[in-house]
Amino acid sequence: MSEAYIAGTGMTAFGKFPHATTGTLAREAVGAALADAEMRPSDVQLVFFANAAGGLITGQEMIRGQAALRDTGLLGPPIVNVENACASASTAFHLACNAVSSGQVDVAVAVGAEKMAVTDKNKAFQAIGTAIDLERRDELVATFGADAGGDRSLFMDIYAWLGRDYAARSGATAMDFAEVAAKSHDHATLNPKAQYRDPLTVEQVLGSRLIADPLTLLMCSPIGDGAAAVVVSRRNHLPVRSSRVRVAACVLRSGRRRDPGDLSALQLASLRAYDAAEVGPADLDVVEVHDAAAPAELIAYEELGLCPEGDGPKLLHSGHTRLGGRQVVNPSGGLLSRGHPIGATGCAQIVELADQLRGRCGARQVEKARIALAENAGGFLGTDNAALAITILTAETGTP
């Protein structure tokens, strides 16, 4: 994917915005991304619009992208609506990169937007809970002991089971999971667009309301609203600037039935991405992972190859993945603290990493960041993620 570059990025703040709509959120993100790319709407030849739960939460179906983007100036070129659970926006980005790198178009835009904070929050929980095979829901409940009530998402039961399984394999404790959440909140204090920017102690995380053992409330990603957009272009359409961000790899996989010992979708996708980008885990400077619940970050450390199996807690406590460490994970605050408006998350990760590689993240800037990886997962199928995207970005210097 040598000819796909990030020309511009933009995103809204993430949070709960009663008067915002999917359209107003998308308009803000698209406007910022086009301005960053020094482009007009008329320069865009293809648009991929990601939204995961609008049909169930707001009632908007069928033409979600056309409706949300009608005031952005992007109507006219093809708008492709993308829904792939929590990996919707990374899927849209994957498609935009493919369209550009194949020569189909010179400029494409990937947009992810989600409106989840509504009066009846059970609507959001129920919508998230559809990212499974509903015809086999009973099998999933039997496998994971999932028994979600109206005050939480079914996925927190799944993540709780994964946390318990990981603890049994690695020796991780609830305190380790709380440390992940505390780290994320520390990073988010430096991100003006994060949903939650107050620092938290491990004790505060452990003391918050129990959701599903071992997960407490502050170990779970919040419901919120937000949008993010990325302009993807060929190299000769980039604005003149001292640094460029190249898409070195963008791999999308679907989950499958896994037998004991089989590699996960995350492992398979990351191996393919490393090969395509001609880098390895040790080369990464900054990483954004899909920490919908705190144990997921520790699991990702190991499955991405950042540390040996079972060493996730050790890597966390070493400071290696904190700001100031060798490989910073979730400098944005991650899903736990930046927030997780599910249809926007994948593009938000790309925005953060592109900004890191361009050196414009202010107090949370990772020093000398040159190679970045994003991991975005969506849904659950059997014992694996239903959708999984790995993206590797690299920084280049010089003029186009």
Tell me the pLDDT of the chain (400 aa) as tens digits.
458 999 999 999 999 999 999 999 999 999 999 999 999 999 999 999 999 999 999 999 999 999 999 999 999 999 999 999 999 999 999 999 999 999 999 999 999 999 999 988 889 988 998 999 989 888 877 777 766 555 667 888 899 999 999 999 999 999 999 999 999 999 999 999 999 999 999 999 999 999 999 999 999 999 999 999 999 999 999 998 768 999 999 999 998 888 888 999 999 999 999 999 999 999 999 999 999 999 999 999 999 999 999 999 999 999 999 999 999 999 999 999 999 999 999 999 999 999 999 999 999 999 999 999 999 999 998 889 999 999 999 999 765 5
pTM tops 0.85, yes or no: yes
- State pLDDT tens for residues 240-254: 876 899 999 999 999
Q: Does residue 336 fall inside a structural domain?
A: yes
pLDDT, position 2:
52
Give which of 350, 371, 366, 352 is closest to 280, Cα–Cα.
371
Q: Does residue 154 fall inside a structural domain?
A: no
State the Rg of the chain over Cα.
Answer: 19
The CATH code of the domain that includes 234 is 3.40.47.10
DSSP string covering 5-22, please? EEEEEEEPPPB--TT--H
Helices (H), the chain: 22-37, 54-57, 64-68, 88-101, 121-128, 137-144, 154-170, 174-188, 202-207, 265-277, 295-303, 312-317, 334-337, 345-357
Q: Are 228 and 32 in contact (CB under 8 A)?
A: no
pLDDT, position 400:
52
Look up the domain containing 329 and give its range. 5-119+223-397
Catalytic residue among 86, 97, 220, 361, which?
A: 86
pLDDT, position 150:
52
- State pLDDT tens for residues 347-396: 999 999 999 999 999 999 999 999 999 999 999 988 899 999 999 999 99
pLDDT, position 399:
54
The whole-angstrom separation of Cα 44 and Cα 72 is 11
What's the angle, vertex CA 346, arms to CA 345 and CA 350, rounded to 5?
Answer: 110
Q: Are strands 328-329 and 286-288 parallel, antiparallel or unpaired?
A: parallel
Q: Does residue 187 fall inside a structural domain?
A: no
Q: Are 225 and 114 in contact (CB under 8 A)?
A: yes
Q: Does residue 145 fall inside a structural domain?
A: no
What is the CB neighbour count within 10 angstroms for residue 116? 28
- Dihedral of CA atoms 127, 390, 16, 227 in degrees, nearest 10, equals -100
Residue 347: exposure state from Cβ atoms within 10 A (0-12, 13-18, ≥19):
buried
Q: Does residue 203 fall inside a structural domain?
A: no
Amino acid in the structure at residue 361:
C
**What's the domain count of the chain?**
1
The whole-angstrom separation of Cα 54 and Cα 59 is 6
Q: Does residue 290 fall inside a structural domain?
A: yes
Q: Does residue 227 fall inside a structural domain?
A: yes
Contacts of 295 (CB under 8 A, 6+ apart): 159, 162, 163, 166, 167, 172, 177, 180, 215, 219
- State pLDDT tens for residues 77-123: 999 999 999 999 999 999 999 999 999 999 999 999 999 999 888 89
Q: Is 86 a catalytic residue?
A: yes
Q: Does residue 173 fall inside a structural domain?
A: no
For 251, the token pair is: 């791999």
Q: Which residue has the tokens 């491990």?
A: 202
End-to-end CA distance of the chain: 17
DSSP string covering 55-82, please? HHHT---S-HHHHHTTTTT--SS-EEEE
pLDDT, position 259:
81
pLDDT, position 59:
94
The 3-state secondary structure of 111-173, one letter per residue: EEEECCCCCCHHHHHHHHCCCCCHHHHHHHHHHHCCCCCCCCCHHHHHHHHHHHHHHHHHCCC
For 144, the token pair is: 């994971």
Burial letters 19-33, b for 16+ CB under 10 A, else e: ebbbbbbbbbbbbbb
Amino acid in the structure at residue 84:
N
Q: Are strands 107-114 and 46-50 parallel, antiparallel or unpaired?
A: parallel
Residue 314: exposure state from Cβ atoms within 10 A (0-12, 13-18, ≥19):
middle
Helix (H, G, I), strand (E, B) or coil at 368: coil
* Phi, psi (deg, nearest 5) at residue 353: -70, -40
